[in-house]
Chains A and B, each alone.
Chain A
Amino acid sequence: MLTYALRRLLTTIPVLWVAITACFFILRLAPGGPFDGERPLPDAIRQNLAAHYNLDRSLVEQYLIYLGKLLKGDLGPSFINQDFTVVEQLMIGLPYTLTVGGTAFLLSIVAGISAGILGYMYRNSFPDYLLGIVVLTGLVLPNFLLAPIFQLIFGLKLEWLPVGGWGGGAAVNIVLPVVVLALPHVARISRLTRASMIEVMHSHYIRTARSRGLSKASIIWRHALKPTLTPVVSYLGPAAGFLLTGSLVVETIFGLPGIGRYFINAALNRDYGMVLGTVIFYMILIVVLNLVVDVLYAWLDPRVRST
């Protein structure tokens, strides 16, 4: 088990390195530099700036400097908000993104799996059809459409929940963003769970368990649940990535001060340093989450470990 985790970690590092290198050089291919304003800067200032940000070195040197700093946890300077480094800005936004994203992640797993099991137990009857409608809504309505619809219904018409803002972390402020973020994944996870449960319940050992006279609940909980969850777990890695891209929209629409909004603002303002830093940060986050999911998967399904 531990060797499997270590081996996965070792294959992860070159992946990250390739991705970081690609991002770095794509960014340096960009036409124009960060200090090309409408009014050209005086030469002396330009030279000082270039020296300060190492822009006067060769591309390879800049790359090595960037990598070296990255290893020390420094993602470089932000070119627009010059009072903050990229890491400082990320650390300001991280708690908000993690709170909303983490809650949405948990909600998708818990609600998705429960809904899937319920859908299986009541298949082809009313609760299952209700689930079908929710699944379809989650699959068809993109989050940038779901968010304003929920804001209109629950915020403006019913006035149950605030339409946006962080509100000092009040629970009511988080409800809508979390639900919008989680719904597509609740839909996918419940569909996966339901289909997987149908398959598992047809297998021979379940028939054996049934013939021994075990109750339905006990069969589902003790025997069917773990194998049912393997496809769900393998979806969790990609789901983390989707939640992350979803948070870009959700944080923008609901006005939450998380990383996603920093990223969008930085991208719209062409803050290259910030964009590069955030993309790399996101990639590290995603790759680590995928690693965790893979290890979890190997724990659930021992056959994976040997490959």
Chain B
Amino acid sequence: MIFRSSRLAAVEASLAGGSPPLPGRSQLQDALARLVRNKGAMVSLAMLCLLIVLAIAGPWFIPHNYEDPDWSAFRSPPSLADGHWFGTDQNGRDLLARTLFGTRVSLLVALIATLVSVVIGVTYGAFAGYVGGRADQAMMRFVDVMYALPSILFVILLMVIFGRNVFLLFAAIGALEWLTMARIVRGQTLSIKQREFIEAARAAGLGTGAIVFRHIVPNLLGPVVIYATLTIPEVVVVESFLSYLGFGIQEPLTSLGTLIAEGTNVLEVLPWLLWFPAAFLILLLLSLLFIGDGLRDAFDPRERG
């Protein structure tokens, strides 16, 4: 496990044994200890790692390619004997290879779109919070406005107009999901900017941009990471949703949403084409959800319901 260090294990053991906490633990260590004790989050973390490894390394170990047909096996149901563990689709393409590749694409979109949303949200929120006053009012009013609009329609609009381009998809989804991040970051910035080190930076003659990026943004790391983790499953769903409707990832590329759309059409005759991609998507979403919730609980115990 990524977060498990020997010190943490010691902390965990002492806590489990009922002895008082070891001296000198930082807030981060406290939070990590809480996270490690959260079984759901830990299992989910293991599951997520497994999915990531499968998606990245899996395709190399499969004798089939995600786009080349196997001329001897069309529409063949899952079987261990003929080497198509997940079966094949109408074009004789191996579903295991396609599912793993689709997972890879979905994860990639999620990662990049989340990064885009983090960059936009953090920059916007930190500037709004730091500059304050009328600019802050106007910027946050704009966020309120965007909240009210069904922004997925804008993404569809963009995809219709500029063609179904993967990079546009990354940017569009990222541009859709930054609003909550901006709100959270602004709130945090409002409290950080009262602190002495910001005053010191200002006294030293630093410009607004330098203060925001060098002194405020690094202190936002905790909430940003937590919220970004919670954003990832949303982005995965949005990407699948768009791909499902035919506005996202296009042939010959594939994603979990595209595969699910193909599987839905032949649900009655070739059900495995839906079940395997669906299972991967559900596992991915479940594990991301539990990790996000676990992180939030660990770092912000007040939120626990």
Report A's interface with B, CB cutoff 8 A. 15, 18-19, 23, 26-27, 29-31, 136, 139-142, 144-145, 147-149, 151-152, 156, 194-195, 198, 237-238, 241, 244-245, 248-249, 252-253, 263-264, 267-268, 270, 272, 275-276, 279, 282-283, 286-287, 290
On whether the beta carbons of A270 and B160 are closer than 8 Å, the reply is: yes
On whether the beta carbons of B160 and A275 are closer than 8 Å, the reply is: yes
Residues of A with C-beta under 8 A to B152:
245
User: Could you tell me the distance between the alpha carbons of A13 and B195 in the complex, rounded to whole angstroms?
Assistant: 39
Report B's interface with A, CB cutoff 8 A. 145, 147-150, 152-154, 156-162, 237, 240-241, 244-247, 257, 260-261, 263-264, 267-268, 271, 274, 278, 281-282, 285-286, 289, 305
Number of A-B contacts (CB under 8 A): 102
On whether the beta carbons of B264 and A253 are closer than 8 Å, the reply is: yes
On whether the beta carbons of B157 and A252 are closer than 8 Å, the reply is: no
Residues of B with C-beta under 8 A to A267:
156-157, 159-160, 247
On whether the beta carbons of B240 and A144 are closer than 8 Å, the reply is: yes
- CB closest chain-B residue, reference A147: B264
Contact of A290 (CB < 8 Å), options: B148, B246, B281, B282: B148
- CB closest chain-B residue, reference A268: B246
User: Could you tell me the distance between the alpha carbons of A23 and B151 in the complex, rounded to whole angstroms?
Assistant: 11
Given contacts A198-B305, A249-B245, A267-B156, 15 further A-B contacts (CB under 8 A): A19-B145, A19-B149, A26-B158, A29-B161, A30-B161, A144-B260, A149-B278, A194-B305, A245-B152, A249-B244, A253-B264, A268-B246, A286-B149, A286-B150, A290-B148
30 A-B contact pairs sorted by A residue (CB < 8 Å):
A19-B149, A23-B157, A26-B154, A30-B161, A139-B289, A140-B286, A141-B282, A142-B237, A142-B240, A142-B241, A144-B257, A144-B261, A147-B264, A148-B274, A156-B268, A195-B305, A237-B148, A244-B150, A245-B150, A245-B153, A245-B241, A248-B245, A249-B245, A264-B245, A267-B156, A268-B246, A272-B161, A283-B150, A286-B150, A287-B149
- CB closest chain-B residue, reference A253: B264
Contact of B153 (CB < 8 Å), options: A152, A195, A252, A279: A279
Contact of B267 (CB < 8 Å), options: A151, A195, A282: A151
User: Could you tell me the distance between the alpha carbons of A267 and B156 in the complex, rounded to whole angstroms?
Assistant: 8
A27-B157, A152-B267 are known contacts. Are A145 and B282 too (CB-CB below 8 A)? yes
On whether the beta carbons of A282 and B264 are closer than 8 Å, the reply is: no
Residues of A with C-beta under 8 A to B285:
140, 142
Q: Distance (Å) between the CB of A185 and the closest chain B CB?
A: 15
Q: Distance (Å) between the CB of A277 and the closest chain B CB?
A: 12
4 tightest CB-CB pairs across the interface, nearest first? A30-B161, A241-B150, A148-B264, A144-B244
On whether the beta carbons of B237 and A18 are closer than 8 Å, the reply is: no
User: Could you tell me the distance between the alpha carbons of A270 and B245 in the complex, rounded to whole angstroms?
Assistant: 14
- CB closest chain-A residue, reference B245: A264
Q: Distance (Å) between the CB of B71 and the closest chain A CB?
A: 29
Q: Distance (Å) between the CB of A183 and the closest chain B CB?
A: 14
On whether the beta carbons of A287 and B148 are closer than 8 Å, the reply is: yes
Q: Distance (Å) between the CB of A128 and the closest chain B CB?
A: 12
Residues of B with C-beta under 8 A to A276:
157
User: Could you tell me the distance between the alpha carbons of A19 and B274 in the complex, rounded to whole angstroms?
Assistant: 38
- CB closest chain-B residue, reference A283: B149
Residues of B with C-beta under 8 A to A264:
245-246
On whether the beta carbons of B145 and A18 are closer than 8 Å, the reply is: yes
- CB closest chain-A residue, reference B305: A195
Q: Distance (Å) between the CB of B290 and the closest chain A CB?
A: 10
Q: Distance (Å) between the CB of A180 and the closest chain B CB?
A: 13
Residues of B with C-beta under 8 A to A268:
246
